[in-house]
Structure formats: structure tokens, C-alpha cells
Amino acid sequence: MSLNLTTSQIELLASLDSMQDTMANTTIELCNINSGSFNAEGITRAQEKVIQLFEDVSEDYQTLPLEPIKKLDSNGNEYEVNIAPMQVFRARPSAPLQILCTGHIDTVFPAESEFQTCWIEGNRLHGPGTADMKGGLVVLAHVLKALNSSEYKNQFGFTIAISPDEEIGSPSSGDVLMSLAKDHDFGLTYEPALADGTLAGARKGSGNFSLVAKGFSTHAGRSFFEGKNAVLAISQAATELAKLSNEETGITVNIGKIDGGGPVNVVPDLCVCHFNIRMHEPEQQIQVEKQINDIVQAISDSSGCEMTLHGKFNRPPKPMTEKQLAMFELLKSCGEKIGLNIQWQATGGCCEGNNLAAAGLINIDTLGVRGANIHSEEEFACIDSFVERAQLSALLITHLIDFKSQL
């Protein structure tokens, strides 16, 4: 360990030294509760565990109701699904440094998934959400607990926001995160780092959309030319939308799913196309948004089909700004003090860190455990990363107090 650490920092780090088994066991308890994004009962049970996790480190707990999620039925009509509230814990709101810590309790594994419980294999803690990101929530709780028992306690306050809808793109919590971001100096999010410890730097923005075409159904033999073919309209629109992808600019349009049509002797009157768009820069988002609307309008005019676009850019791009880079450099120097070589790389994936950045909050969003194979039944967290990552975050927070005045 480097000699640059103060006695208080050394004590702080030492208080986390022996916490590996406690953190791993708490993670197992959390992960053995299925909390797939649409498993309402499971989310509620997991949220009770989250209260236990954070009630001792915080002073205040409340739940913020979230808007229902909008989905499309097979007829292309929108309907709403209620979701659990966001959990918000706070402490010391008038301290000089205010940190927004975020995470999610949902996982990609539905109630009927076969991947339900944890097991240990060497240094790997396998299980649904061990890395993404219940392990990270446990790390966060221990970071705050250690800091609360240190002399740094009164120098910072925090809000912890745990959302139930991150794995489906934060459709409802995204706006709440952005409004919370405005009252804080820095954001810390506990998504996993890669197994080798690499963090996510710049992130692309992303939006999920559904385009519904409603035409006019006729018999293909008797009155073909009176029909308005919704499948054809969607095919044309999908082809035009896909042409917006460009390797040089990094803009991608992925046509993910098309539903529509029936017997071949009938002109189909309904078709729905689901697609995802990603880009690097906020300006590209504005440009692409206009291009999509132009394409939809043009195909609607030429086909005679009524076309409705649903969805939005729920994750704005998170570019590597100067201030973002300064925060990463600070984390790197914290890592050096505890023998870690902290690296980061740009990614096309996105998370809550995008939403925080869009609200102007400087943040690092992969402060959770090291792990791999997330969103698959091979998911695991590296057991030896619990203490290491908790110490890294704790040290970072002690430095954020001065760093704030240098920005």
C-alpha cells in the first residue's frame, strides 16, 4: 500500500478488510430472491431486503412512486403496466458534499427463469444478479457504513436511489434519476466492472422504439389494389431506418423484431416493428430523431398506412467530458494507493450513469464488483473484488470532498 494515505484513510480501509464473507453472504441472500423486472412480487420481497441493507447507514427512507410503463399489445395499442416505486434513502442533506448513489434491484431473469440461486466455485460467486448488480448494492452499503464510522462522516451527505426498472431501460425511473441528480455534486453507480477490473468510460446513448403501421385489409385476389399493406409499409420503413446506421459516426439502428401479417391471400392491415437506436453524441440524437420522424412521415404518405411511433431515447449519450475524465483520473490515483491499476474503456452499452450525465452530474457508473457474463446464466461476481471495490469507493469519497472545490 502506498505511503500517501493518511492515518484516517488507512483506518477506513482496514475497517473493510475482513468484510468479504459478510458481503458475499448478503449478496447470496439478495440474489436468491428472483426480482426480474416484471416480477412484481419478487421485486417487493427484494425491496424489503434493500431496506435492511441501507436502513442502518441512512437517516431517512422514502419510496417515490413511478409512472406505469407503457407497452404495446399485439394490435399495436398502448397499455400500461404498474411498477414498484423507487427506493430512496438519505443522510446528512446539509453536509458540504452531496453524493447521489444509484443502483437497481431488478434483474433480467424472469420469475420462470431456471437461473434462480447462487453457488460458489473457487473465486466465483455465480447467481442471478451477483454482478449485475446486487453485489454492487452490498458493496455500496459497506462503503457508507465504513465512512459513517470514520472521521469523514460529517463531511458528506448522500442520497441512495434504487430503481426497479433499469434492466428494461429505466423507462420510469430515468426522469426521477435526472431530477435527483440536480441536487448532488457527484454520482456513483454500482454496475459491475469487467472481470479484469476495467470500468466503463464513455457510453453511447440508446432509445427503444416501436413503429405501428395500420393499413386496410382486402382480399388479395378480389380487391388487391384497394388494400393498404401494413407489412410492406413496415418493411420499407425498416429498410430506410436501417440505412441510418453508420460505422464511422457510430450511429446504429437495430431492427429487432417485426410482427404482422397472416394468410397470403389477405392484404395485411397491421404490422409492428421494434427497433433500438444508439449514438455517441447528444447532437447525433437530435439529428437521428428528426430523420426517424421524416422516414415515418414519408412512408406513411406513400403507403397510405397510418403510422404511429412509440418509445423514446431513454438513455442519452454519456460522452467523456473533461470533468468526467478528471473524476476517472482521481479514481485511478485512488486505485494506485491500494495497488489497483484502474482502466476504463468506451462502451456501446448504457445504464443509469447515462441519465445522471444527461442531468449534468459527473459520475462513474461501474463501481460495483468485478464480474462477467451478465444477462446470462453464466453470470458471476469475483469474490475477491468485494473488499477491493468497497475500499476503492471509500477512498474515492474521501477525495471527492477536496476534488469538488478543484473542479
User: Strand runs (DSSP E) across 281-405, as ranges?
Assistant: 306-315, 344-347, 363-364, 371-372, 380-382
Q: Closer to Zn ion at the Cβ: 253 or 351?
A: 351
Indicate whether 133 belongs to the interface with Zn ion (CB under 5 A): yes
Least Å distance between CB 132 and Zn ion? 4
Q: Closer to Zn ion at the Cβ: 200 or 296?
A: 200
Indicate whether 379 belongs to the interface with Zn ion (CB under 5 A): no
Q: How far apart are CA 68 and CA 35, in angstroms?
A: 18
Least Å distance between CB 280 and Zn ion? 21
Q: Enumerate residues 184-203 that contact Zn ion by CB under 5 A.
A: 191
Q: How far apart are CA 183 and CA 94, in angstroms?
A: 11
Q: Closer to Zn ion at the Cβ: 132 or 185?
A: 132
Strand 186-189 relative to strand 344-347, pairing: unpaired
Task: Identify which of 210, 199, 175 has the alpha carbon closest to the alpha carbon of residue 352.
Answer: 175
Q: Closer to Zn ion at the Cβ: 146 or 390?
A: 390
* HSE toward the beta carbon, residue 151, CA cutoff 13 A: 6
Residue 340 neighbours by CB under 8 Å, 6+ apart: 197, 388, 392
Q: Are 306 and 235 in contact (CB under 8 A)?
A: no
Q: Closer to Zn ion at the Cβ: 132 or 388?
A: 132
Q: How far apart are CA 299 and CA 292, in angstroms?
A: 11
Q: Closer to Zn ion at the Cβ: 37 or 217?
A: 37
The SS3 assignment for 345 reads strand
Least Å distance between CB 351 and Zn ion? 6
Nearest position to Zn ion, beta carbon: 132
Q: Closer to Zn ion at the Cβ: 107 or 284?
A: 107
Q: Are 85 and 64 in contact (CB under 8 A)?
A: yes
Q: Enumerate residues 103-132 that contact Zn ion by CB under 5 A.
A: 132
Least Å distance between CB 34 and Zn ion? 16
Strand 205-214 relative to strand 270-279, pairing: antiparallel
The 48-77 contact track toward Zn ion, x by CB under 5 A, reads: ------------------------------
Q: How far apart are CA 16 and CA 359, in angstroms?
A: 32
Indicate whether 365 belongs to the interface with Zn ion (CB under 5 A): no
Q: Are 396 and 346 in contact (CB under 8 A)?
A: no
Total binding residues for Zn ion by CB under 5 A? 3
Least Å distance between CB 152 and Zn ion? 28
Least Å distance between CB 368 and Zn ion? 8
Least Å distance between CB 231 and Zn ion? 36
Q: Closer to Zn ion at the Cβ: 191 or 388?
A: 191
Q: Residue 331 region, left (φ>0) first, then alpha (ψ -120 to 50), else beta? A: alpha
Q: Residue 260 region, left (φ>0) first, then alpha (ψ -120 to 50), else beta? A: left
Q: Closer to Zn ion at the Cβ: 132 or 165?
A: 132
Q: How far apart are CA 23 and CA 91, in angstroms?
A: 22
Least Å distance between CB 249 and Zn ion? 27
The SS3 assignment for 82 reads coil
Q: Closer to Zn ion at the Cβ: 146 or 358?
A: 358
Least Å distance between CB 122 and Zn ion? 24
Residue 65 neighbours by CB under 8 Å, 6+ apart: 85
Q: Are 89 and 61 in contact (CB under 8 A)?
A: yes
- 378: exposed, middle or buried (Cβ count in 10 Å: 0-12, 13-18, 19+): exposed
Least Å distance between CB 348 and Zn ion? 15
Least Å distance between CB 104 and Zn ion? 6
Q: Closer to Zn ion at the Cβ: 190 or 275?
A: 190
Stretch that binds Zn ion, among 183-191, 204-212, 257-265, 276-284 (CB under 5 A): 183-191
Return residues touching Zn ion (CB under 5 A): 132-133, 191
